[in-house]
Amino acid sequence: MDYGMYYFEHVTPYETLVRRMERVLASGRTRFQDFFIFESKGFGKVLILDKDVQSTERDEYIYHETLVHPPMLAHPEPKSVLIVGGGEGATLREVLRHPSVERVVMVDIDDQLVEMAKTLLPEWHQGAFEDPRAEVVYDDARKWLETHDDTFDVIIIDLTDPVGEHNPARMLYTVEFYSLVKSRLNPGGVMGMQAGMIMLTHHKAHPVIHRTVREVFRYTRSYKNHIPGFFLDFGFILASESFDPAALSEGTIEARIRERNLPLKHLTAPYLESLFVLPKDLTEAIENETLVSTDANPFYLTPEGEARQAPYPQE
Amino acid sequence: MDYGMYYFEHVTPYETLVRRMERVLASGRTRFQDFFIFESKGFGKVLILDKDVQSTERDEYIYHETLVHPPMLAHPEPKSVLIVGGGEGATLREVLRHPSVERVVMVDIDDQLVEMAKTLLPEWHQGAFEDPRAEVVYDDARKWLETHDDTFDVIIIDLTDPVGEHNPARMLYTVEFYSLVKSRLNPGGVMGMQAGMIMLTHHKAHPVIHRTVREVFRYTRSYKNHIPGFFLDFGFILASESFDPAALSEGTIEARIRERNLPLKHLTAPYLESLFVLPKDLTEAIENETLVSTDANPFYLTPEGEARQAPYPQE
Amino acid sequence: MDYGMYYFEHVTPYETLVRRMERVLASGRTRFQDFFIFESKGFGKVLILDKDVQSTERDEYIYHETLVHPPMLAHPEPKSVLIVGGGEGATLREVLRHPSVERVVMVDIDDQLVEMAKTLLPEWHQGAFEDPRAEVVYDDARKWLETHDDTFDVIIIDLTDPVGEHNPARMLYTVEFYSLVKSRLNPGGVMGMQAGMIMLTHHKAHPVIHRTVREVFRYTRSYKNHIPGFFLDFGFILASESFDPAALSEGTIEARIRERNLPLKHLTAPYLESLFVLPKDLTEAIENETLVSTDANPFYLTPEGEARQAPYPQE
Amino acid sequence: MDYGMYYFEHVTPYETLVRRMERVLASGRTRFQDFFIFESKGFGKVLILDKDVQSTERDEYIYHETLVHPPMLAHPEPKSVLIVGGGEGATLREVLRHPSVERVVMVDIDDQLVEMAKTLLPEWHQGAFEDPRAEVVYDDARKWLETHDDTFDVIIIDLTDPVGEHNPARMLYTVEFYSLVKSRLNPGGVMGMQAGMIMLTHHKAHPVIHRTVREVFRYTRSYKNHIPGFFLDFGFILASESFDPAALSEGTIEARIRERNLPLKHLTAPYLESLFVLPKDLTEAIENETLVSTDANPFYLTPEGEARQAPYPQE
């Protein structure tokens, strides 16, 4: 490691990733979070929100294809889509690639972050915010869902993890929240979500989220993929009341990819299917999990990756 | 990061993993390499050889199940097995779990490393060196193969990557070496190997190894798995002259696991199968690779992860 | 920075020194503290106690000449010397170089540390523990002083800083302790001590110690020197009831060095004198200090280098 | 160390200082060098040029008082002053505090750096560039001296160290360059300069510079001071043909400080005098040095701090 600027990120409490920064492109704070963008040699632009790496220019396609296309392909003809979170616009970009889509509502609490992304992160949104089918709403996603009875074919949840007792995101990881999401799905609808990092020594986030979603939906399916820029595997969940979203045949997925003319760089039909096959240790961790996160007792993650349950602190 | 001891490992030229060391358990040098063992909180004992993390106590089962069982399960009744490398004994341990095995020859150049492992790394070998079916030979694997005409049902190659122009391991990654391995396989035999890290920004090792093995064997199949203690995905290869080792049905694998009574902690039959399904970007990198490593022009990896070809330097 | 082992030491709350370790020589814990010894390329062996660098092989002569010879040379004929602390034996070694010395009592609480030093740190003690004039007592220094009425010509205090509210060393930095030390000095006696790091952004330890010593002794003189292995200036204090220990003429010091035949590598008479001349900003920090550390309200240092006063916590 | 941005600076080849950066204020490249400014908690703004810390807001007064006032006070009535280098303007600021000064020429090769400093580093220059007595010339200092026969009472050299074989600063550290400087001093004139870090394990820069200057001037005097923001001692040199600039009495210095009404924060007359007293090990290193840097064979520093001599490479 030569002289120069580095970014320290604690990937576990005992292992720290030190990334060389070539240039600092932007840093600041919105009303809701710190943001920070730097240029790296291996991964291009790196976006940090509240200290954690969110996305890198070079591999964001892997994350966003993995988050968006499994739920979108699980639906035979998604017309209306809700994105919960999704600030920099790449989730929106991938959703809009499905030609049946007529309306996408993206509800993100942080207007300043979205405005920043429009200017500084064109590699992510690639103009998606200009698409006439896209509506961006700046609001707390839970409040918006409670006060709007619009329903959707697909709802995609792209939130940061509920790290820390005072993290307001905790209320977006409860049985009550997922019930609300379910009530806004059309018949045959499907929910997809980012569902925590998967790590031998830190299995807790994903099993708890899975266990909580399973309280609400008839079908809950976990899948995982390796995200190189995070140096970790991440977990994802598909859930539906109507059908098993992991049970589509490879031929069906293949056909939908072809019909929709999706320009995929990472996923293929067989690879997408393979992501739902989990190793034994992870399956057991999910099956053995008993913690269900509720509004009265929502879970949060400690910096050590432990899951704890406690009432959300009143101010 | 508190005061104390840390281990720096460059996972890419621009990203460094800093691991907290609780205690240093051993460090030294054999005739062939530096070794270093420390205790970490998340991963238990960590074994370093020549600067790179080789294995951690907490997740070595993932690596060793992934390396050993796919080739062993591909064979209907493996009786004789050769392990090339495999110093700390966990590869041997997993091989010996297959009850049909009558003889395992492990050829490792570094007797001092194996002796050290016997004493300091019991969590890895778990007594495997005492098994009467195991023969440990201290020799250069290539020389041993050239001078012995023993043949085997399964040959497992567990070597470090050929990083650096002067690395003698370069001569164990050539067409000629794989031809030699093939000539020591019984009819119906299969070769399994560790085949380099898989990384978006460093795809080179695996594609080159795949391309080289494919010159020699009729069937060459790549698979990958995430190794948490490395914070990376690793590539593996199965190769055979007789049959496609990735084409076994899930039912067959399932039956063999059950018949052999394997105490697997990570692999299941479906998960093992899913590992052979590769994402599009990696498949393309493998397909587009043209570099074939030969004795006259063996490849090596630069510290930046580039693959280069050049004659092995004469002293 | 290449692959390998590094030691992290926070020299300030915002600046960390990362030292490359070539080899770990020993690590462990006595009843009182953690110890850790490693080999470095620039400084040779490095001794860490409870996380902070205590001494390095290459520059310990600078620290120990600076601690020992100013008080010893201030006395015309030191026969009896008490060392408070001084575990690894280099303070003892330097004291014994003065030929008038007939008896040195070294009181260190940590017998295991001294035993370890005898074996592993011969570069420090250089056989001093074998000198018939040396008596090593394993006891709490304050308790020993309270229960023994032996008196001395020179008392040298070589303790670690009182960092942390629960640090028992806090009771060795109070008015009452210095009064006890004074009562054990012979007429014409002098006390010398290590008195905290001197740093622009962390002046607090030294001024508070100076202010406290000044409550007790008629003459209190600060001096400082740069200790390369710490990458910092350190403060020291001479104190006496009988005479101004910083007022000796250069000629007198020069003559004593010559008569005693001291094999100095760093100090000269003029350089020793120059160390007592302090810059304006440091002089002002000392003069403006009002905190006096007492048994009822002993001071301690926060990790940020702030000095706080609070009763010592009862268990 | 928490999440976030850090700056790595190798203070020796084996010890690295990691500084927490609160904010990046500017980064870029002039025609001659990289610059980089960040905000730190302990030291305020930190200025980096070509990777090395040049100055910090919080302690620059220590460096600049130590560089400027010894030569200025050595002269009874400095009217004309030349500054070689001195980009950010703090050297100029301190020179202008001497009321006898009528003209200061500052020759710095890097106009873009000076322009950047005018805007972003007002804490350093504090308006000095606006003083009518100041003339800033953008040129190579050696070329300017060769083509101008202006003479000065005081010449202050404030350059970066000649690290690296291709460093053009090498030609500003030779016998021929110092002869040129001497020829531009008025009778009774004095040269002052920054002369390399002083470190137990890296004594080489300062002894070589001292030895080279001594070839040219009748009187050459080294002094040193601790610069907290560098975590190191730095060496300085005064040289004169007419008188011994280290031989002024404390009373004379005291009187000149008072008459000139200098608002010193760090220096006092006795402290300034004390800086010229060097420890024995450093004195010996200077006395034993034999390397003389010449135009034909100019010296340079390796990254390991070794001094080497070799012809300056022709392009």
User: Is residue B9 within 8 angstroms of chain C, CB to CB?
Assistant: yes
Asked if residues A86 and A108 have their Cβ atoms less than 8 Å apart, the reply is yes
Judge: C8–B2 Cβ closer than 8 Å, yes or no. yes
Å between C164 CA and nearest CA of chain B: 15
Which residues on A lie below 8 Å from B226 (Cβ)?
Answer: 226, 233
Residues of chain B with CATH 3.40.50.150: 60-309
CATH 3.40.50.150 fits D60-309, yes or no: yes
* Separation in Å, CA of C195 to nearest CA in chain D: 18
> What is the pLDDT, as a whole number, of residue D306?
85
Tokens of B216: 């020699």
CA distance linking residue C243 with residue C255, whole number of Å:
19
Residues of D in contact with A3 (CB under 8 A): 8-10, 51-52
Average pLDDT of the segment spanning B206-216: 96
Q: Residues C299, C302, C308, C313: what is their CA dihedral angle, to the nearest 10 degrees? A: -60
Task: Quote the pLDDT of residue D153.
Answer: 98
State phi, psi for B45 to the nearest 5 degrees: -65, 140
In the predicted structure, residue A303 carries a pLDDT above the cut 80 = no
Is pLDDT of B137 > 70? yes
Is C108 known to sit in a ligand binding site? yes
D132 contact partners, CB below 8 Å, separation of at least 6: none
Please write the tens of the pLDDT for every residue from A178-205.
999 999 999 999 999 999 988 866 668 9
- Give the per-residue pLDDT at B167: 87
pLDDT at C229 over 70: yes
Summarize the confidence of residues B237-257 as an average pLDDT: 95
Band the pLDDT of B315: cuts 50, 70, 90: low
Is C280 within 8 Å of D265 when comparing Cβ atoms?
yes
CB atoms within 10 A of CB D178: 25
Cα D134 from Cα A106, distance rounded (Å): 59
Residue B25, pLDDT score: 87
Chain D residues with CB-CB distance to C232 below 8 A: 231
Residues forming CATH 2.30.140.10 domain(s) in chain B: 5-56
Q: How far apart are CA A87 and CA A125, in angstroms?
A: 9
Can you give the pLDDT at residue D203?
A: 65
Task: Count other Cβ atoms within 10 Å, centred on residue D135.
Answer: 12
Packing angle, helices D205-214 and D175-183, rounded to 10: 50
A30-39, B235-244, C92-101, D225-234: least confident range: A30-39
Does residue A8 have a pLDDT over 70? yes
Q: In this predicted model, what pLDDT tens digit does every residue of A64-87 receive, in sequence order?
A: 999 999 999 999 999 999 999 988
A299, A289 in Cβ contact below 8 A? no
Chain D residues in contact with A23 by the CB 8 A cut-off are 27
According to DSSP, the residues that pair with B40 across neighbouring strands are B44
Tokens read off for A60: 């964001």
* Residue A270 scores a pLDDT above 90: yes
Residues 259-278 of A with CB under 8 A from B: 264-268, 270-271, 273-275, 277-278
Residue-level pLDDT at A315: 61
Question: Which residues does D256 contact at the CB level (< 8 Å), separation at least 6?
Answer: D73, D76
User: Does the pLDDT at position B131 exceed 90?
Assistant: yes
What pLDDT is stored for residue B313 in this prediction? 87
Active site residue C158: yes
Contact C222, C275 (CB under 8 A): no
Place of tokens 């302690």: D59
- Give every CB contact of residue D259 below 8 A, 6+ residues apart in sequence: none
Taking alpha carbons only, the member of C49, C62, C14 closest to residue C268 is C62
| Average pLDDT across chain C, whole number | 93
- Whether the per-residue pLDDT at A294 is higher than 70: the answer is yes
Over 70: is that where the pLDDT of B202 sits?
no
Interface probe, candidates C1, C2, C8, C20, chain B, greatest B C-beta count within 10 A: C8
B249-280 tens-digit pLDDT = 999 999 999 999 999 999 999 999 999 999 99
pLDDT of amino acid B204: 82
Strand, coil or helix: B273: helix
Question: Chain B residues with CB inside 8 Å of C164's CB?
Answer: none
> CA gyration radius for chain B?
19
Quick one: what percent of chain B has pLDDT higher than 90? Answer: 79
Arithmetic mean of pLDDT, B143-161:
95
User: If pLDDT is split at 50, 70 and 90, which confidence band does A34 have?
Assistant: confident
The answer to whether A88 is annotated as binding is yes
With a cut of 80, say whether residue B241 has pLDDT above it: yes
Of C15, C42, C266, the CB nearest to D17: C15
Residue C140 is labelled as binding a ligand? yes
d(CA B83, CA B68): 10
pLDDT at C305 over 80: no
Please indicate if any CB of chain C lies within 8 Å of the CB of D15. Answer: yes
Output B202 or D186, whichever has higher pLDDT. D186
Which residues in chain B have their CB less than 8 angstroms from residue C51's CB? Answer: 3-4
Judge: A9–D3 Cβ closer than 8 Å, yes or no: yes
Active-site residue among B110, B153, B158, B161?
B158
Mean per-residue pLDDT over chain A, rounded: 93
B88 annotated among ligand-binding-site residues: yes
Question: Which regions in chain D score pLDDT beneath 70?
Answer: 200-203, 315
Answer yes or no: is C168 a known binding residue: yes
Which one of C3, C16, C24 has the shortest CB-CB distance to B8?
C3
pLDDT of residue D315: 61
Rg of chain C over Cα atoms, rounded to whole angstroms, equals 19
DSSP-assigned beta bridge partners for residue A55: A47
Asked if the C-beta of C310 comes within 8 angstroms of chain D's C-beta atoms, the answer is no
pLDDT in tens, B278-293: 999 999 999 999 999 9
The answer on pLDDT for C113 being more than 70 is yes
| Fold classification of B5-56 (topology level) | Spermidine Synthase; Chain: A, domain 2 (2.30.140)
Examine the pLDDT at A113 and tell me if it is beyond 80.
yes
> Would you state the structure tokens that stand for residue C21, as one six-digit string?
């370790």
Give the minimum alpha-carbon distance from D27 to chain A in angstroms, rounded to a whole number. 8
Residue B201 has pLDDT above 70, yes or no: no
**What whole-number distance in Å separates Cα of residue C252 and Cα of residue C250?**
5
pLDDT at position B233 = 94
Q: Does B303 touch chain A (CB under 8 A)?
A: no
CB B1 to CB C23 under 8 A?
Answer: no
Residues 6 or more apart whose CB falls under 8 angstroms from that of D230 comprise: D11, D53, D197
Confidence of residue A298 (pLDDT cuts 50, 70, 90): very high
Q: What is the pLDDT of residues A199-251, one digit of tens each?
A: 866 668 999 999 999 999 999 999 999 999 999 999 999 999 999 999 999 99
Higher pLDDT: C42 or A153? It is A153
For strand B103-108 and strand B134-138, is the pairing parallel, antiparallel, or unpaired?
Answer: parallel
CA distance C274 to B222: 72
B42: contact with A, CB 8 A cutoff: yes
